[in-house]
Copies of this chain bind each other. A is one copy, B any other.
Amino acid sequence: MGSSTADRITVRGHDLVEDLIGKVSLGDMAFLELKGRLPTPKESTVFNALAVTLVEHGMTPSAIAARLTYFGAPESVQGAVAAGLLGIGDRFGGSVEEAARTLQEALAGSDTSPNFGRLANQVVASHKERKRPIAGIGHPIHKPIDPRTPKLFEIAAANGLSGRYVELMSAISVEAGRAYGKELPVNATGAIGAIASELEIPWQVSRGLAVMARAIGLVGHIREELDEPLSAEIWSRVDEESSGR
């Protein structure tokens, strides 16, 4: 949190004007907000890569909601972005959070060289028993593999941030593939959940990472509505069939 007096504004111990404006990028400022300290150059590269990945996913339910809201309330850009963010819940943002949680909980008590195969096996078995899907693996559209995953893993490794969370995530993918008899590669939310864990972002905060990144993408959608509105067309396409008109 920050504070401000007549001639000084402080954000988490840093003087906004002297130390931050013009010196740190928006991504590093986001790191500061989430972690309470500025990133090292390697952390910055990796964190920005995660955030950039989460900005924009095309015409998602969240983006449609933002555009339709702007259609009804053009006086309130903030309302349209807020409406879009409200859809970053258990189904979407929750997937990053759930992957991070699974990894952080599995490794919480373990020593520095855990048996990843055994931990992965326990994770898969416990999900199978409770009939719950495993967050972070498989993808309905991006097949055979989500192209973001190898890219993110490569960037993490090149910057010394591919450690035991990434290793466990990969092991879970292998074990789950065996248990369910089909390819279940790590998807983008799994990669992000694992790498955010390498950055020691608590799993409870990882949904916030998705929310802040998506706010940027949603402003981009509203920006497009200004120039080339799609919302009336979206509405008519939905309403035509649903109301029987």
Contact = CB atoms under 8 A, between A and B. Distances in A.
A138 interface: no
A205 B224 CA distance: 10
A90 B75 CA distance: 7
A7 B223 contact: no
Interface stretch (A78-86, A98-106, A120-128, A172-180): A78-86
Interface string A205-245: 10111011101110111111010001100110111011111
A11 B154 CA distance: 21
A92 B77 CA distance: 13
Interface string A12-24: 1000110011101
Contact of A88 (B17, B78, B91): B78
How many monomers of this chain does the complex have? 4
Contact of A92 (B29, B72, B88, B142): B72
Nearest to A93: B78
A150 B178 CA distance: 58
A205 B221 CA distance: 11
A171 interface: no
Interface residues of A, number: 107
A28 to B, nearest CB: 8
Contact of A26 (B21, B88, B216): B216
**Chain A facing B: main interface SS:** helix
B64 A68 contact: yes
20 contacts: A6-B143, A9-B147, A17-B151, A22-B45, A25-B26, A26-B213, A26-B216, A29-B52, A29-B55, A59-B239, A60-B235, A64-B239, A71-B87, A72-B88, A73-B76, A81-B212, A82-B83, A82-B85, A83-B83, A205-B223
Interface of A: 1-9, 11-12, 16-17, 20-22, 24-27, 29-30, 32-34, 45, 48-49, 51-53, 55-65, 68-69, 71-83, 85-94, 141-143, 147-148, 151-152, 154-155, 202, 204-205, 207-209, 211-213, 215-217, 219-224, 226, 230-231, 234-235, 237-239, 241-245
